[in-house]
Amino acid sequence: MSTTAAALHDHHEPQLTGIKRWLLTTNHKDIGTLYLWFSFIMFLLGGGMALIIRAELFQPGLQIVDPQFFNSMTTMHALVMIFGGVMPAFVGLANWMIPMMIGAPDMALPRMNNWSFWILPFAFAMLISTLFMRGGAPAAGWTMYAPLVLQTGDAFPFMIFSIHLLGISSVMGAINIIATVLNMRAPGMSLMRMPLFVWTWLITAYLLIAVIPVLAGAVTMLLTDKFFGTSFFNPAGGGDPVLFQHIFWFFGHPEVYILILPAFGVMSQIIPTFARKPLFGYASMVYASASIAFLSFIVWAHHMFTVGMPLAGELFFMFSTMLIAIPTGVKVFNWVATMWRGAMTFETPMLFAIAFVVLFTIGGFSGLMLAITPADFQYHDSYFVVAHFHYVLVPGAIFALIAAVYFWLPKWTGHMYSEALGKWHFWLSAVSLNVTFFPMHFVGLAGMQRRVPDYALQFADFNAISSVGAFIFGTSQLLFLYLVIKCIRGGPQASARVWEGAHGLEWTVPSPAPAHTFNTVPDSEVIRRETLA
Amino acid sequence: MFIARAAWRLLVGSVILLAAVPALAEWAINMPRGVTPISHEIYDLHMTIFSICVAIGALVFGVMFFSIWKHRKSRGAKADNFHESQTVEIIWTVIPFLILIGMAFPATKTLIKMEDMSDIEMTVKITGYQWMWHYDYLEDGVSFYSRLDANSNKTRQLDSGLNPGDVPDYLLNVDKPLVLPVGVKIRLLTTAADVIHSWWVPQLGVKKDAIPGFINEFWTQIEQPGVYRGVCAELCGKDHGFMPVVVKAVNQDEYQAWLQSQRDVTPKTASL
Amino acid sequence: MQVKNHSERTVIKLIVVVLAMFGFGYALVPLYDVICDVTGLNGKTGRISEAESAEQVADINRTIKIQFVASVNAGAPWDFYPNEYEMEVRPGGVYYTTFKAVNKTSHSLVGQAVPSLAPREAALYFNKTECFCFTQQSFTPNESRDMPVRFIVDRDLPVNIDSLVLSYTFFNITPDNQKS
């Protein structure tokens, strides 16, 4: 059945050159590349904002920015990194890899694919333009809690509208991925033979479809509260500001799994490859991902224990949150068991994957601590929380993305990257990351609150250390940029298999992967050989 | 001046990072044990769950790093092919579950204790404003605002040229602290007049959001006299970082004397 | 063509899900109100008719202390305070008290009081037959007025609750064109 689809797409793909090739492309590989470059630019932009934050926090007192601008920086850093840095990067990987992994010639909906990418630059241009508006950029935190967010100046409607656009882009991307995975698999590629990256993305796509519209609803309510006299969140009109938090976190908690599930998928591709041993517990990985996704819908209020909930509510959300540790633990144990009695080598992707397992688990531990409601009353909104979510997002989502790029770069470009530079990049990133974020645990426990431009003197030394780490981390990423450009330009020829232990359909096509792959259905014998189960 | 201090801090920071010296004891690196029954329990919970995490971490990472050392190709390791074991998978699902249950019990007990609002002896209403606190002693008709102290406020301005190191309790001092008696079960109510704030004093083990239009309650019982400092924990706009909380706990006699001195100066209305 | 049809069907189904979830976001608003009514989640108090309140008989074996609290929101230029600061009540009995509000400005104002009860679990058992918070309150310039509340604490109030706090916050909802 894939052959017919391939023929369909093939004959109306004109040979375009220059800018038009990229503007009008419907090729999944080109669109994947666009997504990846766009997200890298956003990563640098969001990182620049983080460095402004860390520069101000280098020592007590205000030296560089005023408090309002500081709040804009924390808000924009989060929005840019989440919606610009991480989510589009994973969509980019999905575009490149999912069709090749399931033996499909392209995504199911190539033209919508083009749309969902090209919305992004406009959405972010709008979001970033708010920096220059009267009243400044949004400064109420990425969580946009009412009523504070209603004090935003001219930027307010632009922020809402850009979030709507980002949501539309994500939802279109998710629909495309689901349609591709459900309908475009080569014969013989049954669901339980799919690589885990495809599985985790399928689950992520369902999460996106379920919660992005809820976010759209929440911000629309903010918009009508501000301009059209509704009072969803205004007590004077019968509303309740806490309601916003409930709706927001109903979106927000699944959202954090949207950021991390595809990372789990990437890990489940990389670790078996370099351990030269099949993934341990494939089926339990699938079930664990699905149960994490399910649990993410019933834990949201753990983000808001301090708003004052009845005892029963606090207990329910504490227990359900603690339960998440179980499927997450299963995943970590499975990765370790995959390494056990393998024959490991430590190329750059594997180094990032090992760092992921260790550091993400540390983030998981602090997450478990945060689940304990009475203790959460102390941790909540302190730097301990900042440390927690940076540990799950930076060595979690970001390291998984970096590992994925190293892993598949030879397949994309046909060249091997410089292993020496890759190792430099790894060690600089891994060390500076811990220098940046580990001290945040300490200052948080000792009483430093989030989202402040200045602090009391007892926090000064750890903050100085964090800032030094942040600048080293930021600079190291430029090395990554250099390495990637160098690899695109040239380097030793990569083989089709690239890695000795690699399995999967994407490694059966030549490197670099030609513009069109699997125009003819892959042999079912090949599928059986390349996939587990 | 700034550069010299920054360089010094860099130096100190690197030394500590490299050597992990005993000087760490002087750095604030952990949650305070606090001065209320609840804060002690929270501290114990925190240390228990932390120890459990460290133990699990040591075990898992220990196994992983052993494998990384032992099962590497460069040492001539040959890859095995096993990829399933129902027994092992059941074990590592059930054991964490039991650990979690073990953890949930003490946490639930503490939580129930925190919610026990019986036998309240006095009540203070706390109102959050952008960017200060207002305290209202319900039974005694005393009320006042509490703002960042003038010294910190002057120093924290952008490019003030003043050195925060010269200000005692920089950013953690107010013009008028909340005075509370020790040994008394006190109900604290939180609400806000504009946006959401959150009243946090780590030594008391409490953090509660102050929400416009709604009141929240919690209780505290301070065990020993002293000055306990905290902050607003919920982002509330421009000067969120500049509205500290200071609680001065005194014994009953001193408290009564203080109340008497205040009654003369505050009118008995609860208004702006 | 088969794949294309399959995909189209998938897309249509998924778009329906997206629209439904957008609706669900809005459905959370009334759902939240229902959950609050049933559980007392946000401490908003209930309202019953006088007939219903007359059905209850005061429990003479139990007294509950109620403290009254008044707040004004930013930009609400009233002096606002309870005329009685606290009251001992028996569950099942109907009680009456008043709050005083003084318009501090020389123009007309419209205010809305928002009730809140602590502990929140008790909100289920706290009902009012008459309250100034049921309607908007108009004030002439410099007007000072006592505003009534008539309430009943249900006999089923859990035994571990021995004191309540009833709070009102006054919000200024004067339409913009009337503000001077």
**Domains of chain A, residue spans:** 1-194+515-533
- B94 pLDDT higher than 70: yes
- C34 pLDDT higher than 90: no
- According to DSSP, the residues that pair with A145 across neighbouring strands are none
In Å, how far are A2, B14, B28, B164, C165 from B19, measured between CA atoms?
Answer: 61, 8, 17, 28, 54
Average pLDDT, chain C: 87
Of C80, C114, C118, Cβ closest to residue B217: C118
Pairing of the two strands B226-232 and C86-89: unpaired
Contact A375 B88 (CB under 8 A): no
Q: Which residue bears the tokens 């309250």?
A: C131
Q: Which of residues 100-129 of A touch C (CB under 8 A)?
A: 108-109
- A8 pLDDT higher than 80: no
**Angle subtended at Cα C62 by Cα C61 and Cα C67, rounded to the nearest 5 degrees:** 155
pLDDT tens digits, A473-482: 999 999 999 9
CA distance C103 to C143: 5
| Residue of A249, A230, A231, A228 lying closest to A240 (CA atoms) | A231
Output the pLDDT for position C180. Answer: 45
Name the token pair of B195.
């946006």
Picking from A94-98, A184-188, B67-71, B80-84, which range would have the lowest pLDDT averaged per residue? B80-84
Question: Which are the contacts of B54, defined by CB distance < 8 A and separation ≥ 6?
Answer: none
Contact C28 A247 (CB under 8 A): yes
Q: Is B81 inside a domain boundary?
A: no
CA distance A92 to A446: 40
Picking from A451-465, B11-25, B115-129, C108-122, which range would have the lowest pLDDT averaged per residue? B11-25
- C8 pLDDT higher than 60: yes
In Å, how far are A117, A405, A452, C110 from A45, measured between CA atoms?
Answer: 18, 19, 21, 47
Known catalytic membership, residue A255:
yes
pLDDT tens digits, B115-146: 998 899 999 999 999 999 999 999 888 999 99
Q: Which of residues 122-181 of B touch C (CB under 8 A)?
A: 123, 125, 127, 129-130, 136, 138-139, 141
- According to DSSP, the residues that pair with B190 across neighbouring strands are B126, B216
Cβ atoms of C61 and C125 within 8 Å: the answer is: no
Output the pLDDT for position A417. Answer: 96
Count of CB pairs separated by less than 8 Å, A with C: 107
For residues B58-73, give the mean pLDDT. Answer: 95
Contact B270 C161 (CB under 8 A): no
Q: Which domain holds residue B249?
A: 122-263
Name the token pair of A363.
């983030």
In Å, how far are A449, A465, B148, B154 from B164, measured between CA atoms?
Answer: 18, 18, 14, 10
- C73 pLDDT higher than 80: yes
Amino acid at C118: A
Average pLDDT, chain B: 88
Q: Give the pLDDT band of residue B24 (cuts 50, 70, 90).
A: very low
pLDDT tens digits, B139-194: 888 999 999 999 999 999 998 889 999 999 999 999 999 999 999 999 999 999 99
pLDDT tens digits, A266-290: 999 999 999 999 999 999 999 999 9
> Which residues of B fall within a CB distance of 8 Å from C43?
214-215
pLDDT tens digits, A183-197: 999 999 999 999 999
Of B212, B213, B217, Cβ closest to residue C165: B217
For residues B19-38, give the mean pLDDT. Answer: 71
Question: What is the residue extent of each domain of chain C?
Answer: 1-39, 46-178
Region for residue B217 given its phi and psi (left: phi exceeds 0; alpha: psi -120 to 50; beta: otherwise): beta
Question: Can you list the alpha helix ranges (DSSP code H) found in A109-195?
Answer: 110-129, 155-183
Output the pLDDT for position C7. Answer: 85
Name the DSSP class of A109. -
CATH of A1-194+515-533, one of 3.40.250.10, 1.20.210.10, 1.20.1090.10, 2.60.120.510: 1.20.210.10
Cβ atoms of A372 and B31 within 8 Å: the answer is: no
For residues A297-309, give the mean pLDDT. Answer: 93
How many helices (H) and strands (E) are present in chain B, helices listed first? 5, 10
B128 in the same domain as B45: no
C92 CA: distance to closest CA in chain B (Å): 20
For residues B60-81, give the mean pLDDT. Answer: 93
Share above pLDDT 70 across residues of chain A, in percent, rounded to a whole number:
97
Phi, psi of A124 (to 5 degrees): -75, -30
Count of CB pairs separated by less than 8 Å, A with B: 307
On the CB side of A157, how many CA atoms lie within 13 Å of its CA? 5
Contact A378 B114 (CB under 8 A): no
Domain C46-178 has CATH 3.90.550.10: no
B257 in the same domain as B214: yes
Contact B235 A450 (CB under 8 A): yes
Contact C25 A184 (CB under 8 A): no
Contact C11 A310 (CB under 8 A): no
- B26 pLDDT higher than 80: no
Tell me the ipTM for this assembly: 0.91
- C81 pLDDT higher than 80: yes
In Å, how far are A142, A423, B39, B64 from A347, measured between CA atoms?
Answer: 36, 8, 48, 17
- B237 pLDDT higher than 90: yes
In Å, how far are B6, B15, B72, B148, C63 from A59, measured between CA atoms?
Answer: 7, 18, 45, 20, 56
B140 in the same domain as B109: no
pTM confidence score: 0.93
Share above pLDDT 90 across residues of chain B, in percent, rounded to a whole number:
77
Total structural domains within chain B = 2
CA distance B169 to B172: 5
Of B118, B138, B194, Cβ closest to residue C69: B138
Cβ atoms of B117 and B187 within 8 Å: the answer is: yes
| Residue of A146, A308, A305 lying closest to A240 (CA atoms) | A146
pLDDT tens digits, A220-255: 999 999 999 899 999 988 899 999 999 999 999 999
- Other CB atoms within a 10 A radius of the CB of residue B30 amount to 14
> Which residues of C fall within a CB distance of 8 Å from B270?
69-71, 80-82
Contact B61 A358 (CB under 8 A): yes
Q: Give the pLDDT band of residue A14 (cuts 50, 70, 90).
A: low
Chain C residue with minimum CA distance to A105:
C3
Sign of CA dihedral B200, B202, B203, B209: positive
**Angle subtended at Cα A140 by Cα A134 and Cα A142, rounded to the nearest 5 degrees:** 115
Q: Quick one: three-class SS letters along A192-229?
A: HHCCHHHHHHHHHHHHHHHHHHHHHHHHHHHHHHHHCC
- A467 pLDDT higher than 70: yes
Q: Is B67 inside a domain boundary?
A: no
CA distance A108 to C142: 69
Q: Which of A328, A432, A466, A476 is catalytic?
A: A328
CA distance A257 to A293: 7
Q: Which strand (E) or helix (H) includes residue A9?
A: helix A2-11
Contact A277 B78 (CB under 8 A): no
A2 CA: distance to closest CA in chain C (Å): 7
- Other CB atoms within a 10 A radius of the CB of residue A158 amount to 18
Output the pLDDT for position C177. Answer: 56
Q: Which residue bears the tokens 């009730």?
A: C115
Contact B211 A59 (CB under 8 A): no
Cβ atoms of A269 and A198 within 8 Å: the answer is: no
B259 in the same domain as B126: yes
B143 in the same domain as B209: yes
| Residue of A93, A390, A385 lying closest to A264 (CA atoms) | A93
Q: Which of residues 350-409 of A touch B (CB under 8 A)?
A: 354, 357-358, 361-362, 365-366, 368-369, 372-375, 377-378, 380-382
- A441 pLDDT higher than 80: yes
Question: Can you list the alpha helix ranges (DSSP code H) found in A340-459?
Answer: 348-371, 373-379, 383-392, 399-413, 419-445
CA distance A391 to B154: 36
Output the pLDDT for position B266. Answer: 55
Of A4, A217, A312, Cβ closest to residue C3: A4
Q: Give the pLDDT band of residue A1 (cuts 50, 70, 90).
A: very low
Q: Which strand (E) or helix (H) includes residue C167?
A: strand C163-172
Known catalytic membership, residue A30:
no
| Residue of B43, B38, B34 lying closest to B249 (CA atoms) | B34
Question: Which are the contacts of B230, defined by CB distance < 8 A and separation ≥ 6?
Answer: A447, B199, B200, B201, B202, B203, B204, B244, B245, B246, B247
- B271 pLDDT higher than 60: no
**Angle subtended at Cα B176 by Cα B172 and Cα B179, rounded to the nearest 5 degrees:** 95
Q: Give the pLDDT band of residue A345 (cuts 50, 70, 90).
A: very high
CA distance B145 to B143: 7
Whether the CB of A183 is below 8 Å from some CB of chain C: the reply is: yes
In Å, how far are A211, A348, A418 from A491, measured between CA atoms?
Answer: 43, 16, 8
Q: Give the pLDDT band of residue C123 (cuts 50, 70, 90).
A: confident
Picking from B53-67, B198-212, C28-42, which range would have the lowest pLDDT averaged per residue? C28-42
- Other CB atoms within a 10 A radius of the CB of residue C102 amount to 16
We report the CATH number of the domain holding residue B259 as 2.60.40.420
Name the token pair of A498.
């690239």
pLDDT tens digits, A60-73: 999 999 999 999 99
Whether the CB of A229 is below 8 Å from some CB of chain C: the reply is: no
| Residue of A462, A382, A66, A455 lying closest to B242 (CA atoms) | A455
A268 CA: distance to closest CA in chain B (Å): 13
